Amino acid sequence: MTDIKNNRGASLLELTCALFLVTVGAFGALHMYLIGIDKAKGVQEYEIAMQALNNEIESLRAVDFEELKAGTGLPFLSDTPALDRLVNVERNTVIVDKAEETRGLKQVRVRIRWTGEYGRRIEKNLTTLIAKKGV
């Protein structure tokens, strides 16, 4: 009978350790889940921005070459409804006439900036050359 009385404290200590380990594991799994949700939201924002940039590049390619006037801070021609999901979106286009360097080319840079999670500013750019058709 003396062995049973001596083991009562040991089983309580084992139970406390097991509960601690299960709790730490559960909180770790929950933390990883929340980090995954944050990363998925960031990837979704990036995909929306890239879709809007590609839409704008394709819209500019469809415009007649002579109508593409050089300038900075030009508004977007295309409309991407998903951009409404981004916070504080700024978008602009810069067109540079490269006639001196290359014949019949214009450099186009489209840019989107928005505020991501935790207040950080995110910016994505695409730059391409648009050629005069038939040259």
Distance from chain centroid for Cα 59: 22
- pLDDT tens string, the chain, 135 residues long: the values are 455 566 666 688 889 999 999 999 999 999 999 999 989 999 999 999 999 999 999 999 998 888 888 888 888 988 888 998 999 999 999 999 887 776 778 999 999 999 988 889 999 999 999 988 765
> Which residue, among 51, 122, 120, 121, has the nearest Cα to 80 in the 3D structure?
51
Tokens of 53: 């940039």
Rounded alpha-carbon distances, angstroms, from residue 65 to 38, 57, 70: 42, 13, 11
Model confidence, pTM? 0.75
The H-or-E segment that residue 74 falls in is strand 71-74
